């Protein structure tokens, strides 16, 4: 069964006890992540990233300091009394603070929230040159629900990438796409070729893969690399008939592309304008390396570039919204 990124978020929230939301609240100049980028931090784990490096280490330390301070307050409170605005906890948290707390960082806020104002200069071992304001808040039940709602909405609007063929290159490309903000679907006519696909990649077994092309939402990308050239041609022809695709790519050589062109124009009722939209070989031919992993890396970058270019509005890009609704 496909394991979605939303499920990973739910699992983290359910299994980590007290959790802090660390969010990029404002940026100035060159910064590693944009406003709205966020991560979740517990006493012993983290999910997501605000850009890595010392900026992230400092934010994690401050978040854990906040969580520890909140836990200390809860321990001193009379039994059964819950402070307004504090987060619930579903599992014990070690009351001993980890080493390296950023106790001296400039911050402001209450016991359940804090703000860091961090210049990205040599003082912290970074040379971005910009400045980042990081908001840190301890999650409560309402904030958790909002995070899940936003994640579900973002996942529902991810661009679809259909990968036809689960051979060596197909497996490698599926693994590359699994790391990206897309909804990847591997389509195959052979059940055994779908084995071992990444958990976050959907699989579809069908005797008529060309029908999947017709059912795909507008703005989808199609990468065709099956075990059968005739089947490749059939799927590509179906994809090129649509004028709302972000990308149509086929694995192969110049000879294969020329053979497809002759068939497409003479037998498939295609035209030159439609054929001109075909990307083949996928990943380009600048790098003369035919190893599946190399082809997959180049093709994944090519597909992402096409999806971004095709995107009609900022809302179509995943994971660029604010982490929490105002």
pLDDT averaged per 10 residues in sequence order, the chain, 326 residues: 78 93 94 93 95 91 90 59 37 38 41 84 76 94 93 92 97 96 97 95 96 96 96 98 96 95 96 97 92 97 95 45 40
Quick one: how many helices (H) and strands (E) in the chain? 9, 12
Return the CATH architecture of domain 160-310: 3-Layer(aba) Sandwich (3.40)
Residues in the chain: 326
Q: Who contacts 105 (Cβ-Cβ below 8 Å, separation ≥6)?
A: 58, 61, 62, 116, 118
- 3-class secondary structure, 167: coil
Q: What is the pLDDT of residue 272?
A: 97
Q: What is the pLDDT of residue 273?
A: 97
- Residue 70: CB atoms within 10 A of its CB come to 22
Residue ranges covered by each domain of the chain? 5-155, 160-310
Cα 201 to Cα 2, 120, 184, 250: the distances in Å are 6, 36, 5, 20
Q: What is the pTM of this model?
A: 0.76
Angstrom distance (rounded) from CA 136 to CA 69: 13
Instruction: Give every strand in the sheet of 278-279, ordered side by side.
Output: 202-205, 183-188, 160-164, 221-224, 247-250, 278-279
Alpha-helical runs (H) found in 49-99: 53-76
Instruction: Give every strand in the sheet of 113-119, ordered side by side.
Output: 46-48, 38-41, 20-28, 131-138, 113-119, 107-108
Q: What is the pLDDT of residue 129?
A: 77
Half-sphere CA count of 245, side-chain side, radius 13 A: 25
């Amino acid at each position: 069964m496909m394991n979605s990124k939303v499920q990973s978020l739910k699992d983290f929230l359910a299994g980590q006890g007290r959790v802090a939301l660390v969010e990029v609240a404002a940026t100035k100049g060159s910064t590693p992540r944009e406003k709205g980028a966020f991560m979740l931090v517990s006493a012993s784990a983290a999910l997501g990233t605000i850009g890595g490096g010392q900026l992230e280490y400092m934010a994690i330390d401050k978040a854990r300091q906040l969580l520890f301070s909140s836990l200390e307050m809860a321990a001193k409170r009379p039994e059964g009394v819950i402070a307004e605005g504090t987060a619930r906890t579903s599992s014990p948290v070690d009351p001993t603070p980890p080493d390296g707390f950023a106790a001296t960082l400039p911050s402001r806020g209450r016991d359940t929230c804090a703000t860091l104002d961090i210049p990205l200069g040599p003082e912290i071992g970074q040379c971005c040159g910009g400045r980042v304001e990081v908001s840190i808040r301890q999650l409560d039940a309402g904030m958790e629900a909002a995070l899940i709602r936003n994640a579900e909405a973002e996942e529902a609007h991810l661009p679809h990438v259909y990968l036809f063929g689960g051979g060596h290159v197909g497996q490698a490309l599926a693994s590359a796409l699994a790391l990206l903000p897309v909804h990847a679907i591997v389509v195959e006519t052979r059940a055994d070729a779908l084995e071992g696909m990444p958990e976050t990649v959907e699989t579809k077994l069908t005797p008529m893969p060309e029908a999947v092309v017709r059912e795909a939402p507008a703005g989808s990308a199609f990468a065709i690399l099956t075990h059968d050239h005739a089947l490749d041609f059939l799927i590509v022809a179906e994809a090129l008939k649509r004028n709302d695709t972000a990308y149509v790519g086929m694995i192969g050589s110049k000879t294969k592309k020329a053979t497809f062109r002759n068939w497409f124009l003479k037998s498939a009722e295609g035209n030159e304008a439609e054929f001109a939209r075909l990307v083949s070989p996928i990943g380009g031919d600048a790098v003369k390396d035919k190893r599946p992993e190399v082809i997959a890396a180049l093709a994944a970058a090519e597909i992402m570039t096409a999806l971004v270019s095709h995107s009609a509005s900022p809302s179509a890009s995943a994971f660029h919204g604010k982490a929490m609704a105002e």
